[in-house]
Amino acid sequence: MLPHRAVYEEEHRMFRETVRHFAASKIAPEFRRWEDAGIVDRSFWTAGGAAGLLCPQVPEEFGGAGGDFRFNAIVLEELSHSGFAGPATDFSVHSDVCCGYLLSYGSAEQKKKWLPRMVSGKTVCAIAMTEPGTGSDLQGIRTRATRHGDEYVVSGQKTFISNGQMCDLVIVVARTNSEGGSKGMSLVLIEADRQGFRRGRNLEKLGHLSSDTSELFFDEVRVPVGNLLGAEGGAMAALMSELPQERLTIALHSIAAAQKAFDLTKNYVRERNAFGSSIASFQNTRFKLADLKADLSVGWAFVDQCLREHIRGELTTYAASTAKLWITEMHGRVVDQCLQFFGGYGFMREYEICRLYADARVLRIYGGTSEIMRELISRNL
Ligand SMILES: Cc1cc2nc3c(=O)[nH]c(=O)nc-3n(C[C@H](O)[C@H](O)[C@H](O)COP(=O)(O)OP(=O)(O)OC[C@H]3O[C@@H](n4cnc5c(N)ncnc54)[C@H](O)[C@@H]3O)c2cc1C
């Protein structure tokens, strides 16, 4: 069970029930099939929209529920704690990350066009920063958007893009000025039906098996200048202001998944016997579980503090990086120790702990690696 937390109010508790019901009725029956296919059904998106799970922070004038970011957090926590890390990431990239850029930097016209479709799930959104040659160092990107009259012509290649197969709209980070260093990069909206846009392979991964993660190719894709998101040259500043929210969501995803691993393990050790008593009775088990419980308690307290700060508009890069670093590393320790308590069964895919272990690994990598988080934190020492 996710712990009771004072950061949430009654309306959030009711929404949590909706998300829990969605996970049990719409994801659980299909999940195995989606993992085998490497992608969810398109109907997962429209069902998510119909249930109010997509972009809940979007104002009512654009078709949303006008909720605060705690509603986004609940979707992520519940899908993650249900063991559905792939769907949690799919929705989070769309609702928490992409939608954040449109809300903060979209023109009135862009918001009117895209937000209602993102809320309903008719449009699935992806964000494409990473390239084969560069991930952590975004200043090294080579994808170019060159202005020709009223259009940008976009050429380049991206990789590891979540929702890459499913997306209808991609927020692309591209270089608009080769001289401009970090100020030479811009965000450009590219619709997936534009000529010259091509999806590569759906990449095979260690975990998040139902999530589509892809290469994307842009071969002289022409878009009107109205597809620029925010100011020309403004990508780096936009990323700096939006990345703390993305890192907070990854921390929320991580701690809910770690809690799930702990809950499963607590039950397992009570049922499994060795040397005439339950595994739970050994001092080693009790002490190790006590350590994990302490880690989780500290993690929940810090992530809730960050969530409160974020609602007040006060979440700093430092706090968000600290949350992502510490909680995703803690998540790794928790799933590793929990799997150990399952013995050989922990290594078997039919046991959920096995999937939780594999799914945990990427949280220390995407959204900025642990090393990059340390780099950011160290700048505030
Ligand atoms: C499943 C999945 C989904 C993803 N989804 C998306 C997405 O939707 N959109 C998107 O744009 N990207 C996405 N990514 C990409 C992800 O954000 C990058 O993989 C990540 O930022 C790391 O970049 P990289 O893989 O190029 O590693 P590199 O940058 O090559 O890093 C390699 C290693 O070097 C270390 N390193 C790099 N710089 C430093 C430094 N200064 N000091 C110390 N160590 C350093 C790193 O920490 C890492 O350990 C996804 C990745 C995965 C695996």
Same domain, 23 and 133: no
Distance 285 CA to ligand 1 centre (A): 35
Domain containing residue 190: 126-233
Identify the domain boundary among 233, 263, 282: 233
Place of tokens 């990059």: 372
Does residue 3 belong to any structural domain of this protein?
no
Q: Is the CB of 173 under 6 A from ligand 1?
A: no
Task: At 214, list the tokens.
Answer: 């892809």
Identify the domain boundary among 96, 123, 150: 123
Q: What is the chain's pLDDT, residue by residue, as a tens digit (381 residues)?
A: 788 899 999 999 999 999 999 999 999 999 999 999 999 999 999 999 999 999 999 999 999 999 999 999 999 999 999 999 999 999 999 999 999 999 999 999 999 999 999 999 999 999 999 999 999 999 999 999 999 999 999 999 999 999 999 999 999 999 999 877 788 999 999 999 999 999 999 999 999 999 999 999 999 999 999 999 999 999 999 999 999 999 999 999 999 999 999 999 999 999 999 999 999 999 999 999 999 999 999 999 999 999 999 999 999 999 999 999 999 999 999 999 999 999 999 999 999 999 999 999 999 999 999 999 999 999 989
Task: Report pLDDT digits (tens) over 48-100.
Answer: 999 999 999 999 999 999 999 999 999 999 999 999 999 999 999 999 999 99
Question: Percent of the chain having pLDDT more than 90?
Answer: 97
Identify the domain boundary among 70, 92, 123: 123
Give, rounded to a whole angstrom, the gap between the first and last alpha carbons of the chain. 36
Same domain, 242 and 357: yes
Task: Give how many domains the chain has, as a whole number.
Answer: 3
Same domain, 194 and 98: no
Integer-rounded Cα Rg, in Å, for the chain is 21
Distance 374 CA to ligand 1 centre (A): 14
Residue 371 identity: E
Same domain, 351 and 326: yes
Does residue 2 belong to any structural domain of this protein?
no
Same domain, 104 and 167: no
CB 292 within 8 A of CB 338: yes
Same domain, 297 and 368: yes
In angstroms, the CA 78 to CA 30 distance is 17
Q: How far is CA 375 from the centre of its chain?
A: 21
Distance 14 CA to ligand 1 centre (A): 37
Q: Is the CB of 362 under 6 A from ligand 1?
A: yes
Annotated catalytic sites, by residue? 246
**Domain holding 296: CATH number?**
1.20.140.10
Place of tokens 């016997």: 273
